[in-house]
Structure 1
Amino acid sequence: MDRLTNTVRPYAWGSTTAIPELLGTEPTGEPQAELWMGAHPGTPSRIDRGSGPAALNDVIDAAPSAELGAPAVARFGPRLAFLLKVLAAGSPLSLQVHPDLAQAQAGFADEEARGIPVDAPHRNYKDANHKPEMIVALAPFDGLCGFRHPAEAAALLAGLGVDSLKPYADILHARPESAALREVLTAVLTADRETMAGTVTAATEAATRLAAEDGPHAAAYAAYASIAHGYPGDPGVIAAMLLNYVRLQPGEALYLGAGVPHAYIAGLGVEIMANSDNVLRCGLTPKHIDVPELLRIVRFEATDPGVLRPETSAEGEELYETPIDEFRLSRYILAPGTGPRLLADRTPQILLCTEGSVRLQSADGSELLLARGESAFVPAGEQVRLTGDGTAFRATVVA
């Protein structure tokens, strides 16, 4: 088992205090958005096995079967299939959607054939993989996830009392679900920018006022007003109003599958995803927005946000069930005097301590103590006993 040295990514939307507080370091005054743990070549974790620090992706590349185990290599190839993060949103992220595996493979092949550089700002597909993901709240966490039912979205828009939103509400009432959501999102994203900016300004003023009242959508209006103040005039503000607003309490999670539009608004959480960079954006960003491709990828169906809570096994593992195999995330809440938790050794693991401290002990008697914010990589085939007084998240794969 190896202690990980990880990198913090300083995206503009990051909190200036949440990750420093987790790590016990002094804030720099600059945004600190994501702490990456894994073997993504963009920002790989580093380990030291006695010959100096080495990037985890290079270590895995040198001996994939030894590090990942034969079952994981056979299933996912010679790479770590997931990326684990601590995400700290101080302001809203972009409204976005991810392709499924077939769409990612086709989109990547098409852009490669057309000679679009992978780092080009207008490139949609950075790789040929899908990007299902899940966020588990470490503190109250606000987000948007999936389309509202059209009637509910229509009522929310109508409640703002903005005349230029009435046609959208009428469409949501009159058309079948999929057609209504598609038509309204298309209209919002392709509208004249100056006209839409006026609509967004009026909607922002109304949402701010309604958030202070005791109405049925007060919390949602407050969230949309917060988004709008960060992105004045952005059509994504109106697109966001088509989505479910959800507040996660600590320990609750959201799973985000292919084609589901979503955005994180504010909060601290543990995020896990398939090892991919494929994102198509709907708004709330200065980055490239490819509306035709976005509309091809989005699943126009109303969904419940589907807040997940972990299921506890007899062995004390609290598992967050998801329908994919590239990652499996669980947590252990440990206390002094309780027996050690024996972790399966078939697949590679990353262990992250988020509260207190936890102790890892391998079969040969070696130990590693993780404090809050620290993490470790456990290669496949290495059995670990987990004890301590704290909370540990365990990330692995299903293989």
Structure 2
Amino acid sequence: MSEDAGIVILGAGQAGGEVASELRKLGYTGRVTMIGDEPHVPYRRPPLSKAYFAGTVSAEELYVVPAASLEKAGIEFIGGVRATGIDREHKRVSLDDGRTIPYHKLVLATGGRARPLPLEGADRPNVFLLRTIDDIERIRERATLGARMVIIGGGFIGLETAAVAQKLGLRVTVLEGLPRVLARVTIPEVSAFFERVHRDAGVDLRTGAQVAALEGDELITHVHLTDGSRIEADLVVVGIGLIANTELAEAAGLAVDNGILVDEYTCTSDPDIVAAGDCTNHPSEYLGRRIRLESVPNAMEQGKVAANTLLGNKVPYRSVPWFWSDQYDLKLQMVGLSAGFDEFVVRGDLENPATRSFAVFYFRDGHLLSVDAVNKPQEFMLSKKLVAESARLNPAVLADESVPFKTLIAEAKA
């Protein structure tokens, strides 16, 4: 295949958009074709369950790379079509509209899809997954004042949706199957804080709540729990995780294991194919092992690395994971992953509903492992470098808010 075929990007999400933009920034003048199964150009997904659901931003304000910018950069966008196969021998991609697109180099930025609820009735018109602009549009049609919304899942998506729905005047119930919300990402004390916040706001939040069945004919009218509870519902929103879109890669014979396997340069097992974003499983220098991350920062950083790799630049991916969540007037920011900590210190007051501001510092063997910050932007920003350096901090002094945080930074040792 000649170089005239250029670079083809499968996936028009954050990672795909980042690869395309970075290629042009790096001076690549060849053909770039981006293919997405949604009609929308690349857009930011985090605001979907927050500002976009609330109606405070438009779809156009979500766009990472507006159509006009794509056109100006000479990036061809093919939207509303699905790639159905990759012919690695002849270097071409098949689309579900019958077209085949040749490539010189291929980028897999296929992302993931919302995990469906494995129960009968989950396909009813008032049961919704939440992953796309179109999902939110459909939810909005039924999210009327006083409507009863049942949210299945107490992770970021579920809690963010609950916060907005409550503000919009819906009657909200959140069902979390585990003993506490955010159980996979933080400690019980932080989980308890967010549970109090939601209950104080009027959300009926139930933990350890196992869904047994959905009831209704044309529409779901009730959600049944295994304890015998029966909850009325006008609409049901399911937020129980993400499934990485690896089927194309696997069918093409690429190495796949909980994501498309890539190295620190985003290279797959095919030298002419790179991959970036939620669909990848990459080596993490920070963790010392492989991981698949679902986050915008990861998608953006991997996208930049992938663009460099395509142009022959050896720029390894070495970012520390970080995440955020907006709920009511709270901004939760996390850097690093706290799994495996042996000590934690709280700076601020977890119990005081008036301040609603604190940071939790996690340590392992005396080194800073990760930080959860709620309405503590300075601590979060300064901690990103400390976590990356696995710095040492004095836990006793750290807990004393009378000591300026910048002073502790100056004394930190790797």
TM range (shorter): under 0.3
- Normalising by structure 1, what TM-score? 0.26
> Which structure exhibits the higher relative contact order, with contacts defined as CA atoms closer than 8 Å and separated by 6 or more residues?
1
- Normalising by structure 2, what TM-score? 0.26
